[in-house]
């Protein structure tokens, strides 16, 4: 999976507080904190458009990107974010600093395809029970999604986390392998 380099502009914030955060948002920035790894926590102002684009992208919150701190790039992912329930605007973001050589735990969405034979032939109802699984993986190997073919699923059969196909040398399943994903 080739990762094109995504860079988000970040500027350190000198002051904190509601007024400063409001002023930032008016200029198209979003207040953020970068923490984790070996450095200390830094308060930042990030380009809100770039962060929004990452959240809407195919890899979503698992997107690995570079925070540009005045020419010095730090790899990070979005750990948490706050959205205004009315306007849908980003209010605040927490970034997690990433060490490229350290495995990390992430949640990866599951997308099913095909039509279950239990639905098509036996008149059953398909139900998605779990929409994501937790895995441990190096940052560069984070999958966008797991695809699962459900066309072989008969009535009273279930697709379990252990049935997902992936490279076990790169990805370790943290979710219980017997966990039902779909039935």
Please, are residues 153 and 129 in contact by the beta-carbon 8 Å criterion? Answer: no
Distances (CA, A) of 113 to 85, 116, 130, 148, 175: 32, 9, 15, 6, 21
Asked whether the CA dihedral 68, 72, 74, 75 is positive or negative, the reply is: positive
- pTM summary value: 0.77
Write down the pLDDT at residue 177.
Answer: 95
Task: Give the Cα separation of 76 and 25 in Å (integer).
Answer: 21
Residues of the chain with CATH 2.170.120.20: 104-182
Give the burial class of 55: count Cβ atoms within 10 A of its Cβ; 0-12 exposed, 13-18 middle, 19 or more buried: middle
The CATH T-level fold of domain 104-182 is: RNA Polymerase Alpha Subunit; Chain A, domain 2 (2.170.120)
Residues in the chain: 183
Write down the pLDDT at residue 122.
Answer: 83
Distances (CA, A) of 148 to 115, 152, 156, 158, 159: 11, 11, 17, 12, 8
pLDDT tens per residue, the chain (183 residues)? Answer: 344 578 888 888 877 778 888 888 999 999 999 998 777 889 999 999 999 999 998 888 889 999 988 888 889 999 999 999 999 899 999 999 998 899 999 999 999 988 888 888 888 888 889 999 999 999 989 998 999 999 888 888 899 999 999 999 999 999 999 999 988
Residues of the chain with CATH 2.40.240.10: 7-97
Q: 7-97 — its CATH code?
A: 2.40.240.10
């Amino acid at each position: 999976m080739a990762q094109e380099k995504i860079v988000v502009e970040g500027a350190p914030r000198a002051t904190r507080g509601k007024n400063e955060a409001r002023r930032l948002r008016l200029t198209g920035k979003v207040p953020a904190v970068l923490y984790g790894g070996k450095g200390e926590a830094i308060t930042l102002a990030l380009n809100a458009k770039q962060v929004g684009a990452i959240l809407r992208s195919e890899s979503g919150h698992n997107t690995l990107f570079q925070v540009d701190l005045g020419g010095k790039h730090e790899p990070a992912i979005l750990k948490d974010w706050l959205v205004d329930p009315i306007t849908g605007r980003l209010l605040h973001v927490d970034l997690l600093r990433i060490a490229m050589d350290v495995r990390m735990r992430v949640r990866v969405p599951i997308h099913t395809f095909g039509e279950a034979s239990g639905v098509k032939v036996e008149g059953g109802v398909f139900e998605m029970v779990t929409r994501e699984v937790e895995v441990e993986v190096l940052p560069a190997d984070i999958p966008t999604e797991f695809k699962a073919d459900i066309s072989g699923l008969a009535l009273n059969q279930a697709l379990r986390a252990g049935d997902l196909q992936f490279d076990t040398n790169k990805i370790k399943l943290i979710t219980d392998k017997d966990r039902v994903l779909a039935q």
